[in-house]
Structure 1
């Protein structure tokens, strides 16, 4: 009897298990159909989004290389075909960042070296040569300066954004006054660049208080008979914008061949020095599409490259 009870018990368990089992067969296809779909994307480390595309024309990726203004998101004002027609290539670096020692053995590392405008606190007026003062303010030694000079003689192009700014705050903090400003401009006026005289002009913005000024905007219409020498692109430069956000702007140009002139004022000029060039230019705006600052810079770059000896 006990044996029969055991058999019946096992039969009951088997029946119970069978009743709980699925009534239809589950296939691999069923599993795949019910599986949650998960997509993964590989995003480059230097990209903030997989949708981000760089539409900047190739020629503008290092342009304009001469400006103290931020150049992020600069796409240029002209259609793509305008830029693709420009076949020139060049290398440029700030004087502060350049490897000047390498120029001793390879003068072709850079086509351009450039300096950006200075704030009065960065300027050291210890030399009679203005370029030496600018260079020393960039923490460049006498020996490096000699390397730089030799590089220019061999065909290098030095581009100087020739402005010195004094903010309303600096004016107040350092107890500037009209006499002190005049002393600075008089000192600058007797300086030279490799023996060439310079011209100095000063502009004042409207001072609101000891910290703030109202932006000064100057529209320059260049004389076409002078600027035509650098016009290599098929568009005309009609008006240029010079904006000054600081209280005092001191602008300096070489007493050389004028490149941009309006009335009695010269806003860009150059000298040949050996096989190379030194260009001085006030920091015209290049972003505002209603003016021709971008076109000016492109023309000036191409002209300087083509005009080297």
Structure 2
């Protein structure tokens, strides 16, 4: 609430992520994606307020106290690949020591040799070079720091993984390798009832989302405006919301045409559709709030193929 003004960073976000499923949450910077992930882990600023429920099994993450979040949720039930990995790595500890400490906390019966082997195995899963394990975070490039954070998130085998821009700073080959490893994490037995693990991946990289996701959620101005199967979203018939369609058309391998205009300020949202001012399909009807549900639009596309 900057300057005493209340800002709704995320509103009416409704979705499910099942065991064995990857949901990609996409949208422009500032739309509320990372705020949503922080809310699930209890990492919002002290003046932030949350409402509603976020159920992981029987546990409501939004209602959990700090003790429960610290001892039961973070790293054990929910793993996090942070958006800014350098800020989450301990600066005075080597990557190896941080991996070994995390593994020891989760499986305290391991011996020293087993910890070393497990740490190197975790590094390999995240394509982090073993010969860099004894370096400190400040000695790593942005891409290496990202891979170190990914390795730390994977070691707990948490039933839910939140990956906030997990491919930042990586070249295309490493992007593909990283998302393939995240996909393996989802598909491997070991989650609830052996059904695999759930992954919520927040990303600007639509190619990575297409490679890994089962479903796609599109967020705009703090709201999820479309929720669709990934196969339908990236191929025929394509997304139905004009904003979603604009995101795809902006890709270099498509029309390479940017979405016109800028998103509205979250503290000054219009009463009606927040995308109307940028939308070539807007009419007077868009002055009213769009319908709720999996498609928040008065004038959605129906069957036109975005690849055409």
In the superposition, the TM-score normalised over structure 1's length comes to: 0.28
Q: Which has the higher contact order (CA 8 A, sep 6+)?
A: 2
Specify the structure having the higher radius of gyration (Cα).
1
Higher helix share: 2
In the superposition, the TM-score normalised over structure 2's length comes to: 0.28
